[in-house]
Amino acid sequence: MKILLPIITIFACLVFAGPGVSYKEAIEGNKKNGKPILLEFYADWCIPCIEMEKTVFKDPAVAKELKNNFYFVRLNTEKEDQIYCEGETMRVLDCVELWEIPGIPSFAVLDKDGSLKHITTGTFEKKTFLNFLKAIRKK
């Protein structure tokens, strides 16, 4: 049982992590091909964030759209991770404050230069989120 518990924990983390890439991978990839970066700001305690992770991000059509057309980066506002924001390296939460993001979940779209293009806050149903992604792609 002692061996089984860590294996189950690792598997659960992989299953519920959802689609996405690291912030560094997104920035590097964006520089090469200009695919837009979509940042999701979330927290482990955020019930709407958890619901979106379990339903919206697991939807095959949403997952395909994210994988094919975006660098999707999930950023936990409770962690001390550093990101490049408005020309500076800072903690995720500091970037949230700088961009005046009012709550979570929030989604920020960065252009090919890594500059903030759009922010929206709140939850989405699968179809609405897919339409949101397609609208971003067309801009």
Q: Annotated active-site positions, please?
A: 46, 49
Cα distance from N-terminal residue to C-terminal residue, the chain? 52
Amino acid at 129: F
Closest of 91, 64, 72, 76 to residue 20, by C-alpha = 72
Q: Which residues pair with 39 in a beta bridge?
A: 73, 108
- Cα–Cα distance measured from residue 7 to residue 32, given in angstroms and rounded to the nearest whole number: 36
Both tokens assigned to 79: 């962690």
Distance CA 94, CA 76 (A): 12
